[in-house]
DNA sequence: GCTAACTTGTGAATCAATTCACAAGCCCAA
DNA sequence: TTGGGCTTGTGAATTGATTCACAAGTTAGC
């Protein structure tokens, strides 16, 4: 879905009005039937014989994915990864807005950081009660990840993007997405090792 | 697989000798049948009635995944993300060794960077001919990602970990893994939006 | 040696996802 | 207005993945 949206934006910029499932499939490396099934799951916004209206389809996808609104994002762990994320081009351009940055290290707390002042992670629950952040990005070391996640959960946040290389436990109503770069590298190692077989 | 290995290391440290598929399943959030199918695909290293030998299984997995050897990794794009990756805890501890760092910006080339000197990306092909890197980590802006990937491909590297938020085209014999953080965030947006349905 | 309690490895069954195939709808040209 | 060329939307068929279920093998206790 996200992927389709990316292509649609491309087409929008190039001024094209409509796009066929076939075209979308070619871009996304899939089949036209797949694309149509995916899209029809949310309703039928295509015109037979013509294709999909680029403008309409992208606005519908944005709606479905919740990208029509602003999300309040906090970063927990003001290390290098957190910093890299904050300036990641295109990361926070689609409605994701950083509202606070937390850390646990006394040397960091209070320091300025990319137009924010780093706060004490122990204040997270109190702050969250009034500021109601929607998403937490977790960029703390593996050792304190679960402990920090527990705090995030307690503060009422229901979506977490985790960069710590560990498997985390969270209640079912909290969505945790883990990006484990070590695993990605390992899968490349696997691909290189078992290439010709 | 990667995941299993992680748990096995945990068990190894705790001094346990054997582990059952059931235990691995509980850790990995899957079923024992699933674990056994996964493992049996590569052969049968378990002992009926007892389980799997932690030491043997982890060494077999390491072998299968190509983690028994050292991989030479280059980082292309000496920005924040590249820097964050280089110090990502546990990233380069399992046999992945950074051998060179490249950038295209004249201000960066020649500067020191985490025990390396940043090289000109235009020298990549020449360097690769003698240094034979195995894996390239691509952390350049979206706009120059495809161009840079083409260079990487030309230099003979067969595995790429891409952090640029674009879909890249590469020949079939080159494995490209893309980590797209914007998409991860968007999937959280989707989860939040369609939570109760 | 024998039994009881486990656990693997794997065919068979079930469940899910993908692909196929085509009727139905739309556009355009004549 | 009619026909030909496209493209969607969707049941049906196929393919793939997961789960079930159990024979076969192992250990430990007695």
> pLDDT tens digit string along B121-170?
999 999 999 999 999 999 999 999 999 999 999 999 999 999 998 889 99
Contacts of A176 (CB under 8 A, 6+ apart): A149, A159, A160, A162, A168, A170
Residues in B touching A189 (Cβ below 8 Å): 65-67, 71, 95-96, 135, 159
Cα angle value B116/B130/B137 (rounded, 5°): 50
Residues present in chain A in total: 197
Contacts of A75 (CB under 8 A, 6+ apart): A82, A85, A86, A98, A100, A101, A102, A136, A137, A139
**In which band, very low, low, confident or very high, does the pLDDT at A135 lie, cut at 50, 70 and 90?**
very high
Instruction: Please tell me what DSSP assigns to residue B53.
Output: E
Q: Do residue A142 and residue B190 have CB atoms under 8 angstroms apart?
A: no
Instruction: Give me the residues paired with residue B18 across strands.
Output: B53
**Which residue in the block uniquely carries the two structure tokens 């805890």?**
B89
Residue from A69, A173, A192 to probe the interface with B (highest B Cβ count within 10 Å): A192
In 3D, which of B79, B116, B129, B74 has the Cα closest to residue B98? B74
In 3D, which of A93, A22, A7 has the Cα closest to residue A54? A7
Q: Which of residues 153-172 of B touch A (CB under 8 A)?
A: 158-161, 165-167
- For residue B87, pLDDT over 90 is answered with no
Rounded distance between C-alpha atoms, residue B101 and residue B82, angstroms: 9
**The pair of three-digit structure tokens given for residue B93, joined into one six-digit string:** 């501890």
C-alpha gyration radius of chain A = 20
**The pair of three-digit structure tokens given for residue B159, joined into one six-digit string:** 């595995």
| pLDDT tens digits, one per residue of A94-118 | 799 999 999 999 999 999 988 899 9
Q: Which residues in A39-118 belong to E strands, given as ranges?
A: 46-47, 51-53, 71-76, 96-103, 112-113, 116-117
| pLDDT tens digits, one per residue of B11-62 | 999 999 999 999 999 999 999 999 999 999 999 999 999 999 999 999 999 9
Looking at chain B, which residue has its C-alpha nearest residue A65? B190
The dihedral built from the CA positions of residue B41, B46, B49 and B55, taken in this order, carries a sign that is negative
Rounded distance between C-alpha atoms, residue B98 and residue B53, angstroms: 32
Rounded distance between C-alpha atoms, residue A153 and residue A170, angstroms: 8
Report, as an integer, the average pLDDT of A8-19: 93
Residues in B touching A193 (Cβ below 8 Å): 64-66
């Amino acid at each position: 879905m996200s992927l389709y949206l990316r292509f649609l934006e491309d087409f929008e910029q190039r001024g094209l009005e409509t796009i066929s499932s076939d075209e979308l499939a070619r871009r996304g490396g899939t089949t036209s039937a797949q694309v149509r099934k995916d899209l029809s799951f949310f309703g039928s916004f295509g015109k037979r014989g013509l294709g999909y209206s680029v403008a309409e389809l992208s606005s519908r996808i944005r709606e479905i994915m919740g990208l029509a609104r602003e999300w309040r994002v906090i970063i927990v762990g003001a290390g290098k990864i957190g910093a890299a994320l904050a300036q990641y081009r295109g990361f926070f351009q689609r409605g994701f807005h950083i509202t606070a940055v937390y850390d646990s290290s006394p040397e960091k707390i209070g320091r300025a950081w990319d137009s924010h002042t780093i706060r004490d992670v122990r204040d997270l629950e109190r702050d969250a009660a009034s500021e109601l952040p929607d998403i937490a990005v977790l960029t703390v070391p593996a050792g304190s990840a679960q402990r920090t996640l527990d705090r995030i959960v307690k503060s009422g946040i229901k979506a977490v993007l985790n960069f710590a290389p560990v498997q985390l436990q969270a209640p079912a109503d909290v969505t945790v997405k883990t990006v484990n770069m070590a695993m990605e590298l390992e899968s490349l190692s696997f691909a290189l090792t078992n290439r010709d077989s």
